Amino acid sequence: MNDATICDTLLQVSEQQERAIELILAGQRDGAVAESIGVHRTTVTRWRNSHPGFIAALNSCRQENFKAASERLQSLSSKAIEALERALSRDDVRLSDALRAIELLGISGESMPKRDDPREVLNHMIDCELHQIQSAQIAHLSDTDRSLAEFDSPTPEEYATDRDTARQNVMARLARQFKADLENHRDAQ
């Protein structure tokens, strides 16, 4: 299997991975998920941490669940405010309870993962690898030189070279993980 095929595969989600996502969203731990779908626990963990398609699909499902919960909470907001007003007028509610209710009503999607496109996840992985490469390039410098180097932007050619190296590193790591998953799947059968 060539790198392009592996990359395309890592941007998609299998039926087995879709089932894993359902179980994760239902609150099951990686070990229980793995047992239910017939893979090793480390495979599920690797999917959660390193598989762009899986990460994006899981984030997308979490966003959908969060949106539904938020809409439900919003539909209850007028009742909650009325109950809070009644409780506050009777002085039988603690301030912390009132503040907690207000906090819950202010819930927003800002805390939800934003990357629900596998290519965004892959680009984020490459960006993280690029940051590690660039950090390693200045790690040996003295504190003063390191401070200066952090302000000195790489040339477009240096950046392109570093980004290409980061992409190659990420793709090689994902290819190794993908091949290990295939071997584990064969062994499990």
Tens digit of each residue's pLDDT (9 = 90 or more) over 96-118: 666 666 666 564 444 555 677 88
- Give the whole-angstrom CA distance, residue 56 versus residue 13: 9
- Give the whole-angstrom CA distance, residue 76 versus residue 108: 15
User: What is the reported pTM?
Assistant: 0.60
Per the CB < 8 A criterion, the answer to whether 188 and 38 are in contact is: yes
Burial-class residue 112 by CB neighbours within 10 Å (0-12, 13-18, 19+). middle
* Amino acid at site 169: N
Average pLDDT over the chain, rounded to an integer: 79
As a residue count, the chain comes to 189
Residue 25: pLDDT band (50, 70, 90) is: very high
- Give the whole-angstrom CA distance, residue 84 versus residue 105: 12
Q: Tell me the Cα Rg of the chain.
A: 23
Residue 35: pLDDT band (50, 70, 90) is: very high
Retrieve residue 112's tokens.
């939800």
Write out pLDDT tens, residues 68-103: 877 887 777 777 777 767 766 766 556 666 666 666
